[in-house]
Each structure stands twice: as structure tokens, then as C-alpha cells.
Amino acid sequence: MPIRLSKRMDTVAPSATKAMTARARALKAQGRDIIALTQGEPDFDTPAPIGKAGMAAIAEGRTRYTAVPGIPELRQAIADQIGRDHGLARTTDEVIVCSGAKQVIANALLATLDTDDEVIVPAPCWVTYPEVVKLAGGTPMIVDCTDSPTFKLTAEALETAITSRTRWLILNTPSNPTGAVYTARELAAFADVLREHEHVAVLTDEIYAELVYPPARFASLAAIAPDLSPRILIVGGVSKAHAMTGWRIGWGAGPADLVKAMATLQGQTTSHASSIAQYAALQAVSGDQGHLADFRATLRKRRDLLCERIGAMPGLSCRVPDGAFYVLVDCTGLLGRRTVQGTELGTDIDIAMWLLEQFDLAVVPGSSFLAPGHLRLSYAVSTDDLEHACNRLQAACDALMREAA
């Protein structure tokens, strides 16, 4: 008899980005020269001083259990960073360190949602939000922003989406998958709406905060509306900006009661993030951060290269995103076309599969992010790979146009 799975598992879908990456890996293992623009992580190595801090933690025996919400030095360094960047005084009691930002979000939603509680998720959105809301017993209320050229939520749409059952609004800036960055003015308009609805808390996922390309500027709701900070949970981490995805360190900074509940939950599940990784993250947060400017400059060049090339491809179009390392490409111009093999490309999923199977190029279908008719391309790959990927995409578009002629 197979082991029976819980009903809970019926509601949760596996990560689509991971599924596409896995398929690309499987084809690579068969010897195919696949280029993957699927990954949500930079191709940079973790900066050496950060790695050294991790190694020092091992050498010095700092390898035992730590406090559940994290080592005090790291919580203090995170509180200090929030003080600097957001102008908000947070104490260590208001900070929890988890095994990645993903666990922060899961802890927060599991600690606060009851059946029928609603969470507003503007879409396109990161695949995990609706799934974790469902896992926690809540209902994701998707606000479709795909028609807006910037893919952003508006204050009017927020006002309309709020009901008496709304518990959270999830804001992600810069956004995965769109790269959109909310301006201070847009956030101020959200704050005006939220002031009228005291029962709504805000989870503001700022994992890509350091990856904003001027003239765009990062802005945070908590900084713009400090009066709302008792109901804001800032989610951050080292994964993306410090090239530390595998270290698994993220944090939540919010009201002490919420942080305490999240720690209670974490104490009964994973206990705490790796002690070694916490010391490495301490170096990332409080040590020299010169690498951030280098990473940003490199990513920006790749963004410009990718957007310029896409602009010249028949059937595809995109806006130049202000942050993160993704471009959400409109591929509706390719829908309904026939491939050389005679298949009709009816959806973005068909297009993504065709690109992978016929052109050895892996991208993620926009449907995975509730953005059908789009493809998400990550430019966190080497410039060489990015150029080859663009050549393949161009060849694919040209081939479709030839078929149509």
C-alpha cells in the first residue's frame, strides 16, 4: 500500500520554475547543450569574505544549535540595516532569521491565517505566494494586473480587493517575475487605502531590494508610512543580492508579537537556520558590501542587452524592468502560429516547451506566474550564455515567421 498523502497536498502545486529547471537539467544530462534562463539565482559566486566567515565559523566550532530566531549579532545587524535603509527603529525582538526568505513567508502565513482568511496577491506574482497561502489554509485573492503595462497593482484595485476577511496584502518590490519597482508615490497611495482598513497587514517581500537600477530607486512601504509599521512584515535576505542562494538565510522584521509566533512555529519545525550560514550572513550584512555595486552594474548591462535583442525579435516585446533580474516577455505575437514540426503554439507553455525541445533554450512560461501569454527570462547568467540564448530565441521567432509567410 502506498503511503496516503494528506488532503493538504491536493491544494499545493510543485514549483513550476523548479520543474522547468529540472527538465532542462535532464536534457543536459543526456548531452544536450541547453541554455537555461530559468534560474532565480545569480551566476556569481558568493563573495570571498562571506565564504571565509562561514569557514571561520566551522573552524571556530560555532556549529551548535543557535537561538531559534537567530544569533543575536545577526538579528542586531539586520535591525541596524533596516534602521539605515528604512529609517525604522527595529529591536532584535522584532527580527527573526529563517532558512531563506521562503521560510519567513511560510512562517508568517502559517502563524496568522485561519480557514477562509484572504490574502491579496497582485499578479503576475512569484509562484510561491498563492501556494503557501493555500497551505496555510487561507484563500489567495489574485488581483490581475497583467493588463497594466507596468504589471503593477493600483490603489484603486487594492481598495476594490479588500474585504472584511482580508488578512494580508503581499507586495513584492522589485518583483519576480516582472522586475517592476513600486515608486514612493505608488506606495503612499497604498498607505492611504490601508489606513482606512486597519485589519489588513502587509507582507512586503524586499528580497531584491539591492537590485534596483537607476534612475529607478528602491522604496519601502514601511519607510513611507511608518505609522503602518505595526502591521508591516518586511521580508529580506541575502540569497539574491549577495549571491548566497544555497546558504539559506532570510529574515522577517515586523511587530514583536508576530515575530514571536513565527519563532514558536519555527522552533517546532526547523529550529533555526544553519549556524554556519548565519555567521556568513552576518559578514554579508555588516561587512564590506562593495560587491553589490559590481553585481548591479553587471546585471544592468545584461538587462539592457536582453531587452534590446528582444525588441528586435518578431512576435516578442517587453518593457525594460527597473529591478531584480527577470524580464517578462509578451509572447502573444507568437500564439496561434505553427512550427516547422506542424504543431500549433496555443499557449505560453507550448512556446516554452517548443523552445526547450527544438532550440535547447529553457525559459519559464508566464502562466506559472499567473501571466499567461508571457515568458519569464532570467538574465542572471553569463553574458556569453545570454548572447547565445538571444541567438536561439531570434532563430525560433524567425522560423515561426517563415512558416507563417
User: Of 112, 146, 176, 266, which one interacts with ligand PLP (CB under 6 A)?
Assistant: 176
Check binding of 376 to ligand PLP (CB under 6 A).
Answer: no
* Grid cell listed for 226: 511608518
**Cα radius of gyration rounded to whole Å, the chain:** 21
Amino acid, res. 103: Q
| Site for ligand PLP contains 245 (CB under 6 A) | yes
Contact (Cβ atoms closer than 8 angstroms) between residue 276 and residue 261: no
239 touching ligand PLP, by CB under 6 A = yes
DSSP secondary structure letters along 55-105? HHHHHTT--S---TT--HHHHHHHHHHHHHHH-----GGGEEEESSHHHHH
d(CA 343, CA 171): 39
Is there binding between residue 40 and ligand PLP (CB under 6 A)? yes
Q: Does 70 bind ligand PLP (CB under 6 A)?
A: no
Q: Which of 122, 124, 250, 323 binds ligand PLP (CB under 6 A)?
A: 250
Binding residue for ligand PLP (CB under 6 A) from 94, 205, 322, 348? 205
Q: Exactly one of 172, 274, 283, 378 binds ligand PLP (CB under 6 A); which one?
A: 172
Among 351, 276, 369, 273, residue whose Cα is nearest residue 70: 273
The span of 18-26, 97-105, 110-118, 159-167 binding ligand PLP (CB under 6 A) equals: 97-105
CB of 121 to ligand PLP, least distance (A): 12
How far is the C-alpha of 89 from the C-alpha of 23, rounded, in Å? 45
Least separation in angstroms between residue 296's CB and ligand PLP is 17
Residue 119 C-beta: closest distance to ligand PLP, Å: 15
Pick 126 or 213: Cβ nearer ligand PLP: 126
Q: Which stretch binds ligand PLP (CB under 6 A): 98-106, 265-273, 277-285, 350-358?
A: 98-106
Question: Would you count residue 251 as binding ligand PLP (CB under 6 A)?
Answer: no
Among the listed ranges 64-72, 77-85, 100-108, 225-233, the one in contact with ligand PLP (CB under 6 A) is 100-108
Question: Quick one: 316 exposed, middle or buried, by C-beta within 10 A (0-12, 13-18, 19+)?
Answer: buried
Helix or strand run (H / E) with residue 139: strand 139-144
- The number of residues that bind ligand PLP (CB under 6 A) is 13
Q: Does the protein bind ligand PLP through residue 379 (CB under 6 A)?
A: no
- Contact (Cβ atoms closer than 8 angstroms) between residue 191 and residue 221: yes
Based on the shown chain and the rule CB under 6 A, indicate whether residue 126 belongs to the binding site for ligand PLP: yes
291 vs 337 by CB, closer to ligand PLP:
291
The residue (of 172 and 274) whose beta carbon lies closer to ligand PLP is 172
Which grid cell is 113?
491565517
Nearest to 233 by CA among 250, 216, 210: 250
38 near ligand PLP, rule: CB under 6 A: no
Q: Closest CB to ligand PLP among 224 and 235? A: 235
Written as nine digits, the cell of 31 is 548531452
Candidates 99-107, 113-121, 373-381, 385-393 — which segment interacts with ligand PLP by CB under 6 A?
99-107
| CB 115 to ligand PLP: min, Å | 25
Residues ≥6 apart with Cβ < 8 Å to 330: 316, 317, 318, 373, 374
Q: Is 237 a binder of ligand PLP (CB under 6 A)?
A: yes
Degrees to nearest 5, angle at CA 151 with 244 and 338: 95
d(CA 120, CA 138): 11
What residues make contact with ligand PLP under the rule CB under 6 A?
40, 100-102, 126, 172, 176, 205, 207, 237, 239, 245, 250
